Structures are given as structure tokens and as C-alpha cells.
Chains A and B, each alone.
Chain A
Amino acid sequence: MPRKIKPKEPAKPKLAVFKFASCDGCQLQLLDAEDALLAVANAVDIAYFVEARDRRLPGPYDVTLVEGSISTAAQIAEIKEIRRQSNYLIAIGACATAGGIQSLRNWRNVDDYINIVYANPSYIDTLATSTPISDHVKVDFELRGCPINKFQLLEVVIALLVGRQPRVPTYSVCMECKRRGTPCVMVTQGIPCLGPVTQAGCNAICPAYNRGCFGCYGPMEAPNTDALGEQLQALGASPDEIMRLFRNFSGYADAFRLASDAYEEMAL
């Protein structure tokens, strides 16, 4: 009788996590996933994740998570090499998907900042802009937010393991806010809120703590920033305040950038 051959265990997908200009907060969301992280560690081979372990395996990688924006010339070369080594590349967080808060420099002369901030400006080698990963290489999927939501991150990992497109909503924060049952901070208190033009995914956390949404998930599908801006003005916000509201963690994302530029012009 022929011996039954034990099927070979399929190789686990190799996962890598890289970071560019960022605070590490998004990577920490993966570490913060605790129980789920152990399961993730079982399901994938974590080949490169400096924040989590010393082992650093060379590429190619099946799935690569990239945190942070591109802000130096060296990073441009680095992200291109990472892209070559990666089968599926996911940009995570506001920095990687929109340039992050550091993209505020894109509206100013970066040398002015350098001279104010650093004792020895000559050590600083930086680009004039902070830009999202997708400005430099093809990105297969984007996870928004500052920081990203760990449940969305898990959803992406799970979806890739079972072989389907990850599912993240592209509708407004308001949908999540209402499902959560939070009374609207704008309607009840006139607090400026970007929820109606911002992509969901955070489970509308800020309004639940009586703050307006500051748009860290970036523009929703077809955002109507004009109509929201008009309403914010009607509620008493100045063009300068509205400009600052849009020009925030995801301020360099197209729709928010255009809105902030329009209100900057209006403020002058």
C-alpha cells in the first residue's frame, strides 16, 4: 500500500514593514493589536519589522507596509527599491497616503523652517516637499488615518490571506458617527467638523469626545468641501480658521489642499 504523502505546508507570506518620515504611530497600531498580532505572526512570516524584532530578512516580500512620507532624496531611491522587492505594497497612515502634517512645509520655503528649527542647518539634507508614497511608486492599497485603525489594518491582512480585495469604507465619517449614536457636534454646538467630507474608518472617535473631526482620514469619495466651507462660515468660522481646518494631517490630499488654498486666498 503506498504511503500517504503529507502535503507540504504552504509557505507563509513574507511581510515587511518600512518607515519613512513619520512618528511610528501607525506601526504601533500593529503592535497594539496584541492578541491579533500573535495570530498575524502565525499566519505570516514577519521578515522585516524593525519596530518589532531584530531579524531583518532580505526581500522580496509578499506584502509590504510602508509608513511615512517621502521627504529626502535618499528616501526616493529607497522606496523605489522597496517597490521592486514588494509584490503588494500598502501605504499606511496620513503621512504615507497624503504627505502627513509635515507636508505643511509644501506651502512654505523649507529653508526658512530649517533655519528656525535646527542649530546646525548645514546638517540637514531634505527635499522641499513631503509627499505621499503614491507620488513616487505604484501603491496597491492605501490605509488612511493618523494613526491608522488597527481593525482596518487587520482587515487588510486577513483579506490578503483569504484572497480578496481589502474592504475599507470610502463614505463619510458621519455614517460611522451616527451608527455610533453620537449627537452631531456641529448641529448641536456649532463646532467646526470635517466629518461630512472625511473618509470613515476611525469609527468617528473625535465627535464621541466632543471634538470636531479634523480630517485625518483624508477626503471621502466625492467630498463637497465648498458646501461644508460655506456652512462653517455661516457658523462663524473665519476663512483663516477654515483654511487651517482643511490644511491639517491630510491637508496635502487633493480635495483638502484645494479647499485650503481657496480659503487662504479668501483670508488674504
Chain B
Amino acid sequence: MLNTITAPTTPLFDTPPMFAHPARVTAIKDEAYATATYEIEFEDDDLKQHYAFRAGQFNMVYLPNIGEVPISLSSDPAKTGVMGHTIRYAGNVTRAISRLRVGDTVGIRGPYGTAWPLERIHGNDVCIVTGGIGLAPLRPVIYHIINNRSDYGRVYLLYGARTPIDMLYTEQFEDWEAHGIEIHQTVDRADESWKGHVGVVPMMFYHLRLNPKKTTVLTCGPEIMIHFVIFEALARRIPKEQIYVSMERNMKCGIGLCGHCQFGPTFVCKEGPVFAYAAIEPFFGVEDF
């Protein structure tokens, strides 16, 4: 069993693979509750010039004295020289990241992992389904589609969050809609300001009329959410080969050497995080796997 998506195999750096490279925080933007986007640039000009990533990939972000975590790239892949990371303050390292200021140094190595198959799905309708922080690794997809709008058909974003303040990038929605991206939002719990849907994301499929033959589903979020997204997609006769998911596992090295991120036959850092659903179907949803 092999993922039908493969990762680029040429490491960017010629230093030992686990060396982090100093990079500066050049901008910080609050996005949602306990969540902000960090724009980061390598200190080394050569690295800055040559670094490029594809939508769906991640970096290992290192803070001296604290530790290292995998964080997906959330910025526009066409914008070289700057890496964007949308980070929710949840663990040891991310909480320390919350104390960073513009001008501070972090360590970066990457990009790692597989990418969303954006070239392969030219001409298709694209249905992006995600929740909360899960929109971060999919924002590069939206940027890419906007940059290459004529390559894609109808584009939907089904986006859910626990509460309205947990929603990312809401100030960009207008612009995205102007580029023909149909956004359907929902929250688990509404507040007074909320006028939209209340309920879980997979239910938003009921608001769409999809053409199963030419629709590709891209999804990222908690496994239980993905589970129901796949259920709804398959119920609409979207072939499993047209469903792609981004998985999360514990990662320590990001390069397939530490073993932590195994998901059955795969290492999520190498064969993932983006998988063709057809490739992982036998293992998806196995309890505690």
C-alpha cells in the first residue's frame, strides 16, 4: 500500500538533517482565540531565496531551550522568502511561541511531508472541508486556487469552529468570495453576534449540490470530523480516490527517523500528512490505531 501522493525527496539543506536554521519573526497577526499567524524569514539570504513549499507541507519550528514542533505552512506558496505559520497556543512549545515578539529568532527546518494534489485536480470542482485550526494547512490551497483560478471549477469552503471567536481568517472571506470561493460557515455554539448556521461541519454538505464525477474533497481536522466528512462525501458518490485528508500524529523528527508518527504502514511525516483517502482506508477509523 502506497500513498498516491509522494513527497519531494531532495532535502533543502546540506547540514545534518535535524539542524534548525535561525529565522526571524517579521510579523505577528492575531487570528482567533489563542491563535496567531507568524511570518518568518530565514536569517541566511541563500536559504531565504531557495526555500519553497507546497500547500499542505509543514516545517519543524524550534525554540531554543523549549523544544521543537511540526507546524503546517499557512501562507501563500507563491510568495517566496516568507513562511507563514498559524499557531494555536496549546502545548509547551506553542505556549512559548505566544511570548515571541517581532524580531525574535526561531529555528526552522523543512518543508516536510506531502502536499495537496493541486496540479492533478485541474479542471475539477474543489470542496474544502475543515474545522478550527484545520483551515491553516488549507489556506495555501485557497491562495493557490485564487492565483490560478481558471484551473479549477467551482470551489467550496465548508468551515466550522467551536465558537465564532475560534474562526480563522474571517477578514479574508470577502476577498475569497470575490474570487468565486463559496464559503459555508457553521459553529458548534453560537453567540449573539452569530447569524449563520449552528452544527457540525459535515452537515454543510446538505447545502451543496456537488457533481461527484468532478469534485475533489480536501479535508483536515479532528479524526472524528474527517470520519464524518468522508461518510458524507461517499454518500454523495464522490469516489474515494477523489478524497484527500491531512492526518495528525506525534512527530519528533519530521523526517522518518524517530518512529513516532506511524499510522499503520506509513510515517505521517514522510508519506503524509496529506493522504489519498483510498490509500489509508483500511486503517482509517480503526480504534486507537
Report 14 cross-chain contacts, Cβ distance below 8 Å, ordered by A residue. Answer: A162-B65, A162-B66, A163-B65, A163-B66, A163-B96, A163-B99, A164-B65, A164-B66, A164-B67, A164-B92, A164-B93, A164-B95, A164-B96, A165-B92
Distance in angstroms between the alpha carbons of A162 and B96 in the assembled complex: 9
Q: Which residues of B contact A (CB under 8 A)?
A: 65-67, 92-93, 95-96, 99
A150-185 to B contact mask, C-beta < 8 Å, 1/0: 000000000000111100000000000000000000
Distance in angstroms between the alpha carbons of A162 and B65 in the assembled complex: 7
- What distance in Å separates the Cβ of B224 from its nearest Cβ neighbour in chain A? 23
- What distance in Å separates the Cβ of A179 from its nearest Cβ neighbour in chain B? 16
Q: Which residue of A lies closest to B91 (CB)?
A: A165
Chain A contact-residue range equals under 10
Q: Which residue of A lies closest to B65 (CB)?
A: A162
Neighbouring B residues of A164 by C-beta, 8 Å: 65-67, 92-93, 95-96
- What distance in Å separates the Cβ of A259 from its nearest Cβ neighbour in chain B? 25
Q: Is the interface of A mostly helix, strand, loop or mixed?
A: loop
- What distance in Å separates the Cβ of B8 from its nearest Cβ neighbour in chain A? 33
Neighbouring B residues of A162 by C-beta, 8 Å: 65-66
Neighbouring A residues of B92 by C-beta, 8 Å: 164-165
Q: Which residue of B lies closest to A158 (CB)?
A: B65
Neighbouring B residues of A165 by C-beta, 8 Å: 92
Neighbouring B residues of A163 by C-beta, 8 Å: 65-66, 96, 99
Distance in angstroms between the alpha carbons of A164 and B92 in the assembled complex: 6
Distance in angstroms between the alpha carbons of A32 and B95 in the assembled complex: 33
7 further interface pairs, Cβ-Cβ under 8 Å (given A164-B66, A164-B92, A165-B92): A162-B65, A162-B66, A163-B66, A163-B96, A163-B99, A164-B67, A164-B96
- What distance in Å separates the Cβ of A8 from its nearest Cβ neighbour in chain B? 18
